[in-house]
Chain A
Amino acid sequence: MAIPFYVAPDQMVQDKAEYARKGIAKGKSIVAMESAVGITLVAENPSASLNKISEIYDRIGFAGVGKYSEFENLRKAGIRYADLKGYAYSREDVFSKSLANAYSEVIGNIFTREIKPLEVEILVVEVGETPEENQMYRILFDGSISDHHGSVVIGGQAEKISQFLRDRFRDELRLEEAIKLGKEALEAGQGGPIRENTLEVAILDRARPGRKFRRFSALDLRELLAKASLGS
Chain B
Amino acid sequence: MDVTLTGHGSSFYDFVHVEHGYLLPRFHVPESGAAPSFAQPPHGTTILALKYLDGVVIAADRQATEGYQVASRHIEKVYKADEYSAIAIAGAAGPCIEMVKLFQVELEHYEKLEGEVLALEGKANKLAQMVRQNLPAAFQGLVVIPIFAGYDLRKNEGRIFKYDITGGRYEEGDYYSTGSGGKDARNTLKKFFRPGMTREQAVRLALEALLDASEEDVATGGPDPVRGIYPSVKIVAQTGTNDLPEDEIRRMCEALLSERRR
Binding site for B on A (CB under 8 A): 49, 51, 54-56, 73-74, 76-81, 83-84, 86-88, 102-103, 105-106, 110, 211
In the complex, besides A80-B109, A87-B16, 14 extra interface pairs with C-beta distance below 8 angstroms are A49-B115, A54-B115, A55-B112, A76-B113, A79-B112, A80-B12, A81-B1, A83-B105, A83-B108, A83-B109, A84-B12, A87-B101, A106-B1, A110-B3
Contacts of A81 in B (CB 8 A): 1
Given contacts A87-B102, A103-B1, contact A76 B109 (CB under 8 A): no
Contacts of B115 in A (CB 8 A): 49, 51, 54
Contacts of B105 in A (CB 8 A): 83, 86-87
B20 CB to closest chain A CB (Å) equals: 6
Given contacts A74-B3, A81-B1, contact A87 B108 (CB under 8 A): no
B112 touching A102 by the CB < 8 A rule?
no
Give A77's nearest chain B residue, CB to CB.
B3
B12 touching A87 by the CB < 8 A rule?
yes
B1-37 to A contact mask, C-beta < 8 Å, 1/0: 1111101100010011000100100000000000000
Q: 3 closest pairs, A vs B, by CB?
A: A102-B1, A77-B3, A83-B109
B23 touching A88 by the CB < 8 A rule?
yes
B1 touching A76 by the CB < 8 A rule?
no
Q: How many A-B residue pairs have CB under 8 A?
A: 54
Give B102's nearest chain A residue, CB to CB.
A87
B3 touching A73 by the CB < 8 A rule?
yes
Given contacts A55-B112, A87-B102, contact A105 B3 (CB under 8 A): no
Binding site for A on B (CB under 8 A): 1-5, 7-8, 12, 15-16, 20, 23, 101-102, 105, 108-109, 112-113, 115
Give B104's nearest chain A residue, CB to CB.
A87
- Residue of A55, A73, A78, A80 near B15 (CB, 8 A) is A80
The answer for the CA separation of A77 and B113 in the assembled complex, in Å, is: 9
- Residue of A79, A87, A105 near B113 (CB, 8 A) is A79
A44 CB to closest chain B CB (Å) equals: 19
Give B15's nearest chain A residue, CB to CB.
A80
The answer for the CA separation of A69 and B7 in the assembled complex, in Å, is: 13
Contacts of B20 in A (CB 8 A): 84, 88
Contacts of A105 in B (CB 8 A): 1
A77 touching B1 by the CB < 8 A rule?
yes
The answer for the CA separation of A75 and B115 in the assembled complex, in Å, is: 12
Contacts of B12 in A (CB 8 A): 80, 83-84, 87
Contacts of B3 in A (CB 8 A): 73-74, 77, 106, 110
What are 12 A-B interface contacts by the 8 Å CB criterion?
Answer: A51-B115, A56-B112, A73-B5, A79-B112, A83-B109, A83-B112, A84-B15, A84-B16, A84-B20, A84-B23, A87-B12, A106-B1
- Residue of A54, A77, A83, A211 near B2 (CB, 8 A) is A77
Give A107's nearest chain B residue, CB to CB.
B3
Contacts of B113 in A (CB 8 A): 76, 79
B176 CB to closest chain A CB (Å) equals: 29
Contacts of B1 in A (CB 8 A): 77-78, 80-81, 102-103, 105-106
The residue among A74, A76, A88, A103 with the most chain B CB atoms within 10 A of its own CB is A76
Contacts of A86 in B (CB 8 A): 105
Give B116's nearest chain A residue, CB to CB.
A49
The answer for the CA separation of A54 and B112 in the assembled complex, in Å, is: 8
Give B2's nearest chain A residue, CB to CB.
A77
Contacts of B5 in A (CB 8 A): 73
The answer for the CA separation of A51 and B116 in the assembled complex, in Å, is: 12
Contacts of B2 in A (CB 8 A): 77, 80
Contacts of B16 in A (CB 8 A): 84, 87
Contacts of A106 in B (CB 8 A): 1, 3
Contacts of A56 in B (CB 8 A): 112
Contacts of A73 in B (CB 8 A): 3-5, 7
B5 CB to closest chain A CB (Å) equals: 7
Contacts of B8 in A (CB 8 A): 80
A29 CB to closest chain B CB (Å) equals: 22
The answer for the CA separation of A13 and B20 in the assembled complex, in Å, is: 35
The answer for the CA separation of A55 and B109 in the assembled complex, in Å, is: 10
The answer for the CA separation of A79 and B110 in the assembled complex, in Å, is: 10
B108 touching A76 by the CB < 8 A rule?
no
The residue among B5, B102, B113 with the most chain A CB atoms within 10 A of its own CB is B113
The residue among B12, B16, B112, B115 with the most chain A CB atoms within 10 A of its own CB is B112
The answer for the CA separation of A187 and B246 in the assembled complex, in Å, is: 52
